[in-house]
Every structure is written in C-alpha cells, then in structure tokens.
C-alpha cells in the first residue's frame, strides 16, 4: 500500500461520483485532499442510466473530454409502460442540447476518480475507512488496507463521507433510518444483444445503437415493481425492482437466482419482446436489497454526508448519479466556505441540510407509490426545493413523475402553495398502438 499521509485539509471517504466530485472540487480550490476508497477501480456497480444534467458537473470537473472519448451510448429520453399505457419523454423538449448516457459504471466512475487525481487529490484505493473520530477540531479517520490488513489514521480539518451504502459515519452515529414505504430488492443481469426503443416508439436493432440514440425503458411489474432495460456499448443491462409481495412469487419461480431472473424476464411486456434470450451472459446475475433510508443528520461540526452515504431512494427516476454529483459539489463548496469563514460554519451547515433534504424529499415523492406516504413532514422539505427550482426544472420533475403515474404525490404541495401553477404536460407523449410490428422482420428483437 502506498504511504498514506497522516494529515490533510480534507479527508474524503469513497471514490464514487459523489466522492470524486467533492475531492476534485476541493483540490482545484487549493486544498490538500486525501481520498480513501475500499475498492480498486474499475469496480462493479449498477446504475447505468445517466441524465443529461450531469454534463454541467462533468464540465466543471474537467472530465467531459474523457467521458466523450469512451463512446458511451447516447440516451435521448425515456420510455415507460405503466398501468397499461406507453409514454415517452425527450430531454430535448426541456432545452437540453446534450443527450443523457447509458454507461458502464465501472468505466464511468474510474474516469471521475482519475480526473480528481489529476486535479491534485491524493487517491488511495483498497483502503477501507473503519472509524471516524469526530470530536475536537481535527477529525481522525482510521483505515485498514483491504489487501494487507495494514492499519493507520489520517487526520483532516473536515471529513466528507461519500462511502455509498456503507454509510460509514451515519452507521457509526446510528443516524440512519430505513424508509417504511420503499422496501425493494433489485435483481439484474446482462445480455449480449437485444433490440431497443428509440424516441418515437420504433424498435431498433442492437447494431444501430451508435447511430440512433436509445431511450431507457422501464416497464411496470405487478402493482409496485418494475423492470429496466438499458442499452450499453457491448451488452444490455436488464433488471427487476421487486417489492416484498412480488418477491414471494419470484423466489418460488426457479431453483437458482439465474433461473428465477430469466423466467421473470420472459414475462415482462415489451422487454420480453426485445430480448434475445440466447444472448444472456451466464454468471452475470446479481441481487441487492434496495432498502431506502435517510439520515437524522446530514452534517456536523467538521463533517458532511453526501451521495448514498447520506440517503438512498429507489432510483425509478434515475436520480442517483445526478444526485451524487449535486451533493458532492455542494459538500465541497460548504467545506470550502466553512474553512474560509469558520464563524459561518453553522449557517453553512443549515443551508446544506436544507438543500439536501429538499432534493431528497422530491426524489422520494418521485419514487413513492401513490397514497403510501408515511412521512408527511417531507412535503415541507419538497415544497421548499420545488419553489427554488426553475420552471424548466419543475416541468422535468413533473414529467418524470407523470410517466410513472405518480403526479398525485405532488397534490399536497399545490394545496400548501397555491401560487405554484399547474405544470405543463406537453412534454410527455402517449404512444398509440403496439410498439412491435410482428408482420415485418423484428428490428433485432427476439421472436
């Protein structure tokens, strides 16, 4: 293990998008930053669907050229089949001049980490943070090498926890609470080739993926579950997000996880028509429990939580990676302001918490099944964030909720703030008729 310094201005835990963004931003501002990540990159991680608002952060971080050079699949919008209706939305209708992306997260995240390193952050991989001493003006992060077992400590004036669902600080402080309304399990695997749906509704063959931008496809499964279909450079990610009641039938459907996954894929409308089951990649199926959670505290004296280390919400609206960029950037700016103006640190923390909680509440309303909110106090946080948003941002939020039939979740916000106009729904189109023309040769879809 390379020698880790004993001191730094800021210690960042975790090298995903949130941690890389925070470390990059602070290093460019002139701070000595040490980043510890328990894994070596590239790493295996799910979450391949990237919305176009991330380009703003990629530009700021200096990662745009590297991201563009990799040739990730372009994403023009979304296609959703929910309650028996197929709807689409296009990012261009909201003024975006650059598309979203379908990425291999291992490659995407490594580019961000290497860019942070090139900007001056000192990055140490295979080093797990095992405890953070938060008392006193200097914070001490105890770590252990995941290879040699060697232990040590690094001290900093501030700690930014971007450790993902490991949530090092929140777990240590006992601040993490699980969301009663959002309890799911995700199961996903990869296929070598499938057809895909473009904006406009036609099905294109896998071979045209670099010519014609794809849409991310999401199809309702049961009452609350759903399936994703995300085209990548050389394969296709297909996953199931299943609530507890759907899991019972899923677990009874086969001997192995792989058998259960493939059997379920055959039953999902539209996705089953797209898949070439013979192209399934054996051994690619993985599963995690997607229990949503949120923290009692998002910051404290000398520390900030960011990304999934702060909160995790079912990613039906693809908010995970943009949220990681946003919170990593905000945590870095809050750390910078606190270090430059120590007398304002409490005010900075309150502002950070308000912005974070508002965004988390809006993400949650986008994901939450209609009529199942056990936390009405979150409406106030969501309302503050919505009132701060631009009209375009409000319309995008509304469109993301409309295509998955969740706009009723916004009704309490309008009752609380009548000055909010009803949002424009022209950005969502309903597709009439079948997606597939079985009278002609399929565009790469299995028959």
Helix (H) or strand (E) segment spanning residue 270: none
Q: b/e for 88-114, b at 16 or more Cβ within 10 A?
A: bbbbebbebebbbbbbbbeebbbbbbb
pLDDT score, position 436: 58
Is-contact 150 338, C-beta < 8 A?
A: no
Give me the DSSP letters along 351-366.
HHHHHHHHHHHHHHHH
pLDDT score, position 254: 73
Mean pLDDT value across the chain = 89
Average pLDDT rounded to a whole number, residues 104-109: 97
Is-contact 297 175, C-beta < 8 A?
A: yes
- Over the stretch 55-70, which tens digit does the pLDDT of each residue have? 999 999 999 999 999 9
* pLDDT band at residue 441 using 50, 70 and 90 as cut-offs: very low
* pLDDT band at residue 127 using 50, 70 and 90 as cut-offs: very high
pLDDT score, position 446: 34
* Whether pLDDT at 442 is above 60: no
pLDDT score, position 291: 65
pTM for this entry: 0.92
pLDDT score, position 181: 67
Q: State what percent of residues in the chain have pLDDT above 70.
A: 93
Report domain extents, the chain: 7-73+102-178+293-346
Q: State what percent of residues in the chain have pLDDT above 90.
A: 62
* Whether pLDDT at 277 is above 80: yes
pLDDT score, position 290: 65
* pLDDT band at residue 434 using 50, 70 and 90 as cut-offs: low
* pLDDT band at residue 439 using 50, 70 and 90 as cut-offs: very low
Tokens 């296709």 belong to 236
* pLDDT band at residue 445 using 50, 70 and 90 as cut-offs: very low
* Whether pLDDT at 18 is above 80: yes
The candidate with the shortest Cα–Cα distance to 30, out of 5, 8, 54, is 8
Distance CA 212, CA 229 (A): 16
Residue 432 vs residues 92, 221, 273, 398, 402: alpha-carbon distances, Å: 21, 21, 18, 22, 17
Average pLDDT rounded to a whole number, residues 301-318: 84
Average pLDDT rounded to a whole number, residues 137-150: 96
Residue 312 burial class via C-beta count within 10 angstroms: exposed 0-12, middle 13-18, buried 19 and up: buried
- Over the stretch 361-395, which tens digit does the pLDDT of each residue have? 888 888 777 777 767 778 888 888 888 888 888 88
pLDDT score, position 1: 58
Distance CA 201, CA 278 (A): 25
Is-contact 18 328, C-beta < 8 A?
A: yes
- Over the stretch 326-352, which tens digit does the pLDDT of each residue have? 999 999 999 999 999 999 999 999 999
Domain 7-73+102-178+293-346 has CATH 3.50.50.60: yes
- Over the stretch 70-97, which tens digit does the pLDDT of each residue have? 999 999 999 999 988 999 999 999 889 9
Average pLDDT rounded to a whole number, residues 149-174: 94
Distance CA 378, CA 364 (A): 9
* pLDDT band at residue 444 using 50, 70 and 90 as cut-offs: very low
pLDDT score, position 423: 59
* Whether pLDDT at 138 is above 90: yes
């Amino acid at each position: 293990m390379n020698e880790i310094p004993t001191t730094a201005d800021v210690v960042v835990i975790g090298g995903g998008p949130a941690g890389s963004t925070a470390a990059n931003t602070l290093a460019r501002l002139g701070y000595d930053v040490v980043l510890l990540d328990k894994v070596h990159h590239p790493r295996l991680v799910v979450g391949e669907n990237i919305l176009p608002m991330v380009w703003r952060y990629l530009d700021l971080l200096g990662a745009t050229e590297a991201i563009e050079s990799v040739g990730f699949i372009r994403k023009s919008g979304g296609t959703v089949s929910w309650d028996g209706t197929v709807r689409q939305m296009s990012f261009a209708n909201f003024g975006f001049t650059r598309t979203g992306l379908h990425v291999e997260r291992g490659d995407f995240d490594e580019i961000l980490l290497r860019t942070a390193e090139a900007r001056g952050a000192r990055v140490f991989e295979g080093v797990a943070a095992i405890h953070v001493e938060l008392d006193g003006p200097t914070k001490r992060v105890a770590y252990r090498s995941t290879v040699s077992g060697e232990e040590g400590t690094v001290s900093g004036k501030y700690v930014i926890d971007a450790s993902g669902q490991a949530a090092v600080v929140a777990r240590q402080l006992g601040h993490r609470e699980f969301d009663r309304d959002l309890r799911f399990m995700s199961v996903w695997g990869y296929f070598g080739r499938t057809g895909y749906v473009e904006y406009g509704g036609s099905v294109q063959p896998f071979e045209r993926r670099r010519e014609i931008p794809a849409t991310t496809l999401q199809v309702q499964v049961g009452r609350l579950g759903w399936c994703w279909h995300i085209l990548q450079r050389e394969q296709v990610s297909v996953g199931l997000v299943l609530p507890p009641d759907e899991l019972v039938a899923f677990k009874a459907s086969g001997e192995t996880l792989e058998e259960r996954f493939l059997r379920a894929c055959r039953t999902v409308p539209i996705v089953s028509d797209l898949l070439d089951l013979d192209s399934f990649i054996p051994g690619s199926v993985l599963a995690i429990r997607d229990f949503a959670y949120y923290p009692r505290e998002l910051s404290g004296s000398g520390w900030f939580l960011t990304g999934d280390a702060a909160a995790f919400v079912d990613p039906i609206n693809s908010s995970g990676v943009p949220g990681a960029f946003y919170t990593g950037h905000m945590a870095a700016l809050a750390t910078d302001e606190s270090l430059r103006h120590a007398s304002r640190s409490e005010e900075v923390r309150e502002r950070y918490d308000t912005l974070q909680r508002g965004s988390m509440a809006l993400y949650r309303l986008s994901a939450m099944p209609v009529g199942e909110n056990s936390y009405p106090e979150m409406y106030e946080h969501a309302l503050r964030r919505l009132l701060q948003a631009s009209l375009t941002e409000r319309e995008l939020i509304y469109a993301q909720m409309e295509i998955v039939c969740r706009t009723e979740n916004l009704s309490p916000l309008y009752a609380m703030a009548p000055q909010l106009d009803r949002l424009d729904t022209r950005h969502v189109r309903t597709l009439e008729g079948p997606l597939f023309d079985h009278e002609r040769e399929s565009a790469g879809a299995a028959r």
